[in-house]
Structure 1
Amino acid sequence: MKNNFFKMACVGFATLSFVACSDNDDSTGTDPQNATLQEVVSNTSNNVIIATYNDLNQKAIALTSVINQLATTPNAANLQAAKEAWVAARAPWEQTEGFLYGPVDSEGIDPAMDTWPVDVEAMNNILNSSNAITVQTIENNNEARGFHLIEFLLWGEAGNKTAQQLTVRQLELLKAAATDLQNNTQKLYNGWIASGGNFVNNFLNPSPEVYPSYTAVLEEITEGLIIIADEVANGKIEDPLNPESSTPKPELEESRFSNNSKLDFADNMRSIQNIYLGKYGTNGNGKGLTTLIAAKNPALDTKIKNAVTAAINAINAIPGTFTEAIYSNKNAVKDAQQKVRDLQTILQAELKPFVVNNLQ
């Protein structure tokens, strides 16, 4: 998630903080401990990360198809179908945010898909011009592109847009934006798989040039979990809640037009859960970080799993919409925020040092 008001920390440590491997480096795969590391990295890469990107791409294809139907026949049923397809595609995207490294970062795909808030002025400039609206029209403007542009057009500022209110130009922009979004989900998937950009090879076959060991890969994976916990607690919840003032800032709320914010935040926590448990839906064999931590520190493993569950439950327990809650149920919002911060602290202060110092 690229938030204009919340800047994510850069995750470049893997290429900066490790040197060439010794003869006993854990990337050789010759001892039982390293074999387990390799299995965890393989399962996490193929059955969680790539599986999530594949699901995202398939749902983006479905979203494009439904929006094309809406553009052809703009009625209430097709608008509702488009909204449902947007929500369906949104879930796997939010569940990728625990691993914002690789092509999503290096190729600038995150801001191309998910910058918020939407630049309404830039959108209106496109709509009010006499130029044809194509994919190329929006490719150079990340602030009026991706999930939240589509969301704004489907739901409207107040969240109650009707099919009759969709103009011809808005429908053209919706089609272009949906195609652009799916182009980027395809890039993400292709960038990881062996037959495409093959970023997965950097994880599966560590080398001094990128990740010198499986431990370095696992440190990158762990850092990704810390980053999304930090962003949810200290950006996605913090910014609209605006605790330093008595006045919330709903305009800074992610997915506020669709009232999908709580689902977004919970899916970000599920992203952490998926990576940690080594599963995505029916994909994955359960060989995740949990396998390695439980073997050496079962108390920490239980603590992490409980903290993830507590964060998800607290987000789900926020009454009503998030927009309503930042005004009328601030304590519930703050409780959810604290649960996410608690998780972040455990990941930062306990999991990461354990990975660095004990998974050699």
Structure 2
Amino acid sequence: MKRISQIVSAALLGGMLSVNPTLTQADTVSAKAVMENYVNLAAASFGDALATANVLQEKVDAFIANPTDATQQAAKDAWLAARKPYSQTEAFRFSNPNVDEWEGQVNAWPLDEGLIDYVKQAVYDHEEGNPFASANIIAGKDPINVELLKSLNEKGGSEANVGTGYHAIEFLLWGQDFNADPTDAGKRPATDYAKGDACTNGNCERRGEYLKAATDLLVADLQTMADDWADSKDNYRQAFLSLPENEALRRMLFGMGSLSLGELAGERMNVALLAHSQEDEHSCFSDNTHNDIAEGSICVSGSCFPRHCKRDG
């Protein structure tokens, strides 16, 4: 069993050599050292995701308070920036139950956007038989708050009903992408959040309330995960470090393998390509799917490891 630990440690070491400037390929690296580095990488990755989400929250608040083309673009840019570090965290997902169970509220997709807001029905591709596909919560009367948004996830048993996370926020910022020009993303007008007579498509105040609630929940969820990996007592980090060495190393490799094949190559690339389905693009409203895939692939290959650790010294 010790030999297995040594082999797996050497395999994981390949992408991590530059983490510690004192290491060389000739050095002996223990399984415990690899485990410790892994939890440090998780803490750095989720910390980056939280920091960029905090910036997104600031830009969304500014946009809602003063909905102009400029403030909307600033919020979009912040969303795109926030996706980069988040996508890199997915290497930790399948190997760690705390991440896998948490991920659905943060990154679920594809979503039937008519559940949330108005859509152009003639070009609306939703899950067949989903009774809530055109519920349009924003046009309803229920008070919009975090609890309402969370209750929408998988409503009626359909995984296409998604009310929270990055992609709900993405839809609220970009709107539907009609794909009239493949180079264009969604073109939701800033006036969808305007006050008074300047409001377009109705329910502008409720739309702002939904966007704010979804963004605030995203930040809270990322804070939870950052806390899980922080260097403190009685959290998931400590539970991971207490695992038997072979089990911990197995989980690391299993997580990267599951992300690379079943998720990235399968769900996020193959399905959309074979079905010619825009709705199955990971970030279909912003047309950011290629970056989502690229950033996720970076961590599968190990190339994201030096980036975080150089920053932290």
Structure 2: unaligned runs, 5 residues or longer:
7-26, 118-135, 154-161, 178-185, 194-203
Give 1:119's aligned residue.
112
Query: 1:280: Cα distance to partner?
Result: 2.1
Alignment CA distance shift 1:281-1:71 (3 Å): farther
> Is 1:215 paired with 2:209?
no
Give 1:331's aligned residue.
none
Give 1:45's aligned residue.
39
Give 1:4's aligned residue.
none
Query: 1:279: Cα distance to partner?
Result: 4.8
Query: 1:226: Cα distance to partner?
Result: 0.2
Q: Secondary structure at the match of 1:165?
A: helix
Query: 1:115: Cα distance to partner?
Result: 0.8
Identify the match of residue 173 of structure 1 among 189, 210, 222.
210
Alignment CA distance shift 1:197-1:265 (3 Å): farther
Note the alpha carbon deviations across 1:186-244, whole angstroms, 9 max, x for none.
1111122243652111333x3xxxx22x23211110111101101111110011111xx
Note the alpha carbon deviations across 1:54-91, whole angstroms, 9 max, x for none.
11111111111111111110111110110011111111
d(CA) in 2 for partners of 1:79, 1:255: 18
d(CA) in 2 for partners of 1:88, 1:218: 31
Q: Which amino acid aligns with 1:161?
A: R
Q: Secondary structure at the match of 1:131?
A: coil
Give 2:98's aligned residue.
103
Q: Secondary structure at the match of 2:30?
A: helix
> Is 1:270 paired with 2:298?
yes
d(CA) in 2 for partners of 1:199, 1:221: 15
Contact 1:43/1:278 (CA < 8 Å) preserved in 2? no
Query: 1:121: Cα distance to partner?
Result: 3.3
Give 1:324's aligned residue.
none
Alignment CA distance shift 1:236-1:136 (3 Å): same
Q: Secondary structure at the match of 1:266?
A: helix
Alignment length (residue pairs): 247
Structure 1: unaligned runs, 5 residues or longer:
1-20, 28-32, 286-360
Note the alpha carbon deviations across 1:23-55, whole angstroms, 9 max, x for none.
x9979xxxxx98622222212211x11100011
d(CA) in 2 for partners of 1:84, 1:281: 25
Q: Which amino acid aligns with 1:155?
A: W
Contact 1:278/1:284 (CA < 8 Å) preserved in 2? no
Contact 1:44/1:284 (CA < 8 Å) preserved in 2? no
> Is 1:146 paired with 2:174?
no
Contact 2:4/2:246 (CA < 8 Å) preserved in 1? no
d(CA) in 2 for partners of 1:195, 1:86: 30
Alignment CA distance shift 1:259-1:197 (3 Å): farther
> Is 1:239 paired with 2:271?
yes
Give 2:48's aligned residue.
55
Alignment CA distance shift 1:194-1:281 (3 Å): closer
Alignment CA distance shift 1:26-1:165 (3 Å): closer
Give 1:352's aligned residue.
none
d(CA) in 2 for partners of 1:197, 1:55: 22
Identity of aligned residues (%): 29
Give 2:284's aligned residue.
256
Q: Which amino acid aligns with 2:280?
A: L
Query: 1:274: Cα distance to partner?
Result: 3.7
Contact 2:109/2:282 (CA < 8 Å) preserved in 1? yes
- 1:1-360 to structure 2, matched below 5 A, reads 36-46=30-40, 48-100=41-93, 101-105=96-100, 108-124=101-117, 125-142=136-153, 143-158=162-177, 159-166=186-193, 167-195=204-232, 198-204=235-241, 206=242, 211-212=243-244, 214-230=245-261, 231-242=263-274, 248-274=276-302, 277=305, 279-280=307-308, 282-283=310-311
d(CA) in 2 for partners of 1:26, 1:237: 33
Contact 1:119/1:144 (CA < 8 Å) preserved in 2? no
Alignment CA distance shift 1:272-1:197 (3 Å): farther
d(CA) in 2 for partners of 1:227, 1:268: 12
Q: Which amino acid aligns with 1:217?
A: A
Alignment CA distance shift 1:66-1:284 (3 Å): closer
Alignment CA distance shift 1:134-1:187 (3 Å): same
Contact 1:253/1:261 (CA < 8 Å) preserved in 2? yes
Q: Secondary structure at the match of 2:89?
A: coil
Query: 1:283: Cα distance to partner?
Result: 3.9
